[in-house]
Amino acid sequence: MTLREVGTVKVINRFPVKSFGGESLLSAALKWSGLDGDRQYAFHKVADGSRFPWLTGRAVSPVVTYAVRFVEADNPRKSAVRVLAAGREYDLRDEALRRHLSEAIGEEVRLIQIGRGIFDTMPVSVMATATPKLVEAAAGVPIDPRRFRANLIIQTPDGEAARETHWVGGTLVFGEGPNAAKLLVSAPIDRCVMTTIDPDTGERNPAILRTVVEKFGNFIASRCSPAALGTIAIGDRVYLQR
Task: Please write the tens of the pLDDT for every residue from 157-205.
Answer: 999 999 999 999 999 999 999 999 999 999 999 999 999 999 999 999 9
Task: Tell me the residue range of the domain where 167 lies.
Answer: 3-241
- Number of domain units in the chain: 1
Map residue 214 onto helix, strand or coil: helix
Helix axes 206-216, 130-139, angle to 10 degrees: 110
Give residues with Cβ within 8 angstroms of 84, minimum separation 6. 66, 67, 68, 90
Q: What does pTM read for this prediction? A: 0.96
- Structure confidence at residue 16 (pLDDT): 98
CA distances from 103 to 22, 44, 220 (A): 23, 13, 32
Q: What confidence tens digit (pLDDT) does each residue in 38-50 have?
A: 999 999 999 999 9
Q: What is the CATH number of the domain that holds 145?
A: 2.40.33.20
